[in-house]
A and B are shown apart, each in its own frame.
Chain A
Amino acid sequence: MITVFSNLIHRVFTHLFRSKRNIKIGLYGPPNGGKTTLANRICIDWIGEEMGTVSHIPHETREVQLKDQIIIRSGKKELLFTLVDTPGIATKIDYEDFVKAGMPSKIAKKRAKEATRGVIDAIKWLDDMDAVIVVLDSTKDPYSQVNITIIGNLEARRTPMLIVANKTDLRKANIKKIQAAFPQYEVIPVAAKYGTNIEKLYEALFKIT
């Protein structure tokens, strides 16, 4: 009888601590996939404030950003987590690309340097992630070195992950191509800018955490 009672207490406490554990969910992906737009959407939906600034020029997010104590709810379930928005991961960062986008050379070089440091930081943070949302631009070819390296590495680490095919509001969006590229993972099509299909992402988060 004592053993049964003790087991019951243990199970209740384990459940309580598991459900209240503050986990870290990271947003990873190539530059301009919409990681910060998605982070802002999640933050606005659940805590009523934005997380960071967005830009059409790549590498706008050059430092890892955190938002603590986000609680999302689905029915009776609750998920408490820290959202980690990371700088875009790239294999080449060239200030001349920023100059072409209208930036003065000196500022462009500084941006390139900070973006490089951002990639190193983003990779360092991988060790701390409990789950990862890989954010891909659904108008772009998913078979890129960056995408394959990130997803392959997460797979090797056995980090739970799901893939968001973002920008589905754009005419060139091709969700099937992303699904075909990474068939072993759940691909959630969303338009983070407008919140389209975002509830599917929230449901999926409960499955991977």
Chain B
Amino acid sequence: MPHQCVRCNTFYEDKAEEVLKGCPCGGKLFFFIKKEKLDRIRELSANLTETEKDQIEQDVMEIIGEQEEHEPVVLDLETIRIMKPGTYELDLVQMMKNEPLIYKVDEGKYVIDLIRSFGGKKK
């Protein structure tokens, strides 16, 4: 499954060092894409301006409640599609399956289920 750096559009394969440590361009957010959807995503990201890409990166970090921007994050575009800043499409069926929708790359662990682990719950 390819990963695309949201900032510079470069594609990386699974477990590529760049995905684990961050893209050389400084990008920390990657889109996780199924091979059959590649063309659509290429088209989508080609139409985004630099400002929009920055905004998407910032928005995703806020949506997932990520405080530190040092570690790369991979967003499953099958579940949350960000068409442009402020426009989101959600796949509820996928989300309710309790499968991870955002994969955080952290200290060698490739996937963390943030649906269960990211904060702000249980008072």
**A contact residues vs B (CB 8 Å cutoff):** 64, 66, 89-96, 108-109, 112-113, 116-117, 119-121, 123-128, 145-146, 149-150, 153
Contact = CB atoms under 8 A, between A and B. Distances in A.
Contacts of A112: 86-88
Contact of B115 (A92, A113, A124, A150): A124
Nearest to B80: A116
A120 B101 contact: yes
Given A113-B63, A117-B62, A120-B115, A94 B86 contact: yes
Contacts, number: 70
B118 to A, nearest CB: 9
Contacts of A117: 62-65
A89 B64 CA distance: 17
B20 to A, nearest CB: 24
Given A66-B123, A116-B80, A121-B121, A91 B92 contact: yes
A97 to B, nearest CB: 10
B96 A116 contact: no
A153 B86 CA distance: 27
Interface string B100-119: 01000000000000011000
A120 to B, nearest CB: 7
Given A96-B87, A112-B86, 9 more contacts: A109-B85, A116-B63, A119-B95, A120-B63, A123-B92, A123-B95, A124-B116, A126-B96, A145-B92
A126 B115 CA distance: 12
Contact of A116 (B55, B65, B90, B122): B90
